[in-house]
A and B are shown apart, each in its own frame.
Chain A
């Protein structure tokens, strides 16, 4: 059970200051647009927090591009909108914090081979719900999501979209309950990413063979035996090595119920 409400609340309230600049080649007006500053939730997705920013820049671009899909880059790297914002920041700036995080906004030359298309927020919701279901398959053989009603699924999404902690956790706490009679999930939904953005996802039990709770240190010894100095970062912090995986999963997963962790 995700009992430590204080931690849950801290994670939920995490924000990153962002400075959006319009790509130079997109600017059609003589007057340069002001950059757009905004605090965004670490737990959210870019398409959910960029409506105002888009309206701000639209009048500066060529009107034939006004209906094009907007996309973002950091230092020339296109940002995958389907990754949580906080995770993207950890991936690109975790080792070398840059605040405000300065991003470039584009309306042309959509990088088809790198980014998925996101024509509307329904696509974000579909992606989000699918990820939650995948996490539930790993944790509970999919039994919690399949026995929930559609309105409960909707409440998860609405809680996330509208920044409603209590509304969200009223449902999410059921996804954080242990599997069957066991103490803990069947497997931990976790994705570990290297610098290049490639993720590793494996079946990870929250328990060792002797039944004891598996810690981050033990996980690292299993997965990266030849890298004894390696560390894990999530939500902007390095994870203490003695953290039990079950606790980590219950308290520091993203709203999609996955741990998204940077290897460093």
Chain B
């Protein structure tokens, strides 16, 4: 399976609100109805590394939405689990709003999230 096909295989609905992080050369802000938060997804343990790691996500969405997105992107089986960690310390509740996490734990303009298929930091 070629890299360029990976995006196509992921459900379009899942990718609907997710845009690749883009730099605008002329510095204009991206016009958008919704505020986006930059996230960086890092694999941990023996989790597969995502080809595309940087994403701009709707700030009002719950973090569970990102969990589902990563599961689809990595093509995990329904019964396989995915754990998401902030600060390599705690697993946020799936209904926590991304904006809250970004405001409290974001660094250098992005929220870094570590993911793995088994419990990493308890």
A: which residues have CB within 8 A of B? Answer: 80, 82, 116, 126-127, 129-131, 133-134, 137-138, 142, 145-146, 187, 191, 198-203
Q: Can you list 26 A-B contacts (CB < 8 A)?
A: A116-B94, A126-B91, A126-B122, A127-B93, A130-B93, A130-B122, A131-B90, A131-B93, A133-B89, A133-B90, A134-B89, A134-B90, A134-B92, A137-B105, A138-B104, A142-B87, A142-B89, A187-B104, A191-B100, A198-B97, A199-B96, A199-B100, A201-B100, A201-B101, A202-B103, A203-B104
Bound state CA distance, A146 and B86, in angstroms? 15
State the Cβ distance, A233 to closest chain B Cβ, in Å: 20
Partner of A82, one of B86, B93, B100, B101: B93
In this complex, how many residues of chain B approach chain A with their Cβ under 8 Å: the count is 18
Q: Say yes or no: B90 contacts A137, CB within 8 Å.
A: yes
Q: Say yes or no: B89 contacts A116, CB within 8 Å.
A: no
Once A116-B95, A129-B122, A137-B105 are accepted as A-B contacts, the answer to whether A200 and B100 lie under 8 Å apart by CB is yes
- Indicate the member of A133, A134, A203 with the most B CB atoms within 10 Å: A134
Bound state CA distance, A130 and B94, in angstroms? 12
Please classify the interface of chain B as helix (H, G, I), strand (E, B), loop, or mixed, using the class held by over half of its residues.
loop
Partner of A130, one of B91, B97, B101, B104: B91
Bound state CA distance, A156 and B15, in angstroms? 41
Interface 1/0 per residue, B79-122 and A, CB below 8 Å: 00000001101111111110011011100000000000000011
Bound state CA distance, A191 and B94, in angstroms? 16
Q: Closest A residue to B88 by CB, please name it.
A: A142
Partner of A137, one of B89, B91, B94, B100: B89
Question: 12 new A-B pairs (CB below 8 Å) besides A130-B91, A131-B93, A200-B100?
Answer: A116-B94, A126-B91, A126-B122, A130-B92, A130-B122, A131-B90, A134-B89, A142-B89, A145-B89, A199-B96, A202-B104, A203-B104
Bound state CA distance, A199 and B92, in angstroms? 14
Residues from chain A with a CB closer than 8 A to the CB of B97 are 198-199
State the Cβ distance, A71 to closest chain B Cβ, in Å: 15
Q: Say yes or no: A116 contacts B93, CB within 8 Å.
A: yes
State the Cβ distance, A140 to closest chain B Cβ, in Å: 11
Residues from chain B with a CB closer than 8 A to the CB of A134 are 86, 89-90, 92
Q: Say yes or no: A203 contacts B90, CB within 8 Å.
A: no
Bound state CA distance, A134 and B86, in angstroms? 9
Bound state CA distance, A131 and B104, in angstroms? 14
Bound state CA distance, A221 and B121, in angstroms? 37
Residues from chain A with a CB closer than 8 A to the CB of B100 are 191, 199-202
Bound state CA distance, A142 and B122, in angstroms? 14
Residues from chain B with a CB closer than 8 A to the CB of A202 are 100, 103-104
Q: Closest B residue to A145 by CB, please name it.
A: B89
Q: Closest A residue to B86 by CB, please name it.
A: A134
Residues from chain A with a CB closer than 8 A to the CB of B104 are 138, 187, 201-203
Q: Say yes or no: A80 contacts B92, CB within 8 Å.
A: no
Bound state CA distance, A187 and B91, in angstroms? 19
State the Cβ distance, A141 to closest chain B Cβ, in Å: 9
Which of B40-89 touch A at CB < 8 Å? 86-87, 89
Bound state CA distance, A136 and B96, in angstroms? 17
Bound state CA distance, A203 and B103, in angstroms? 7
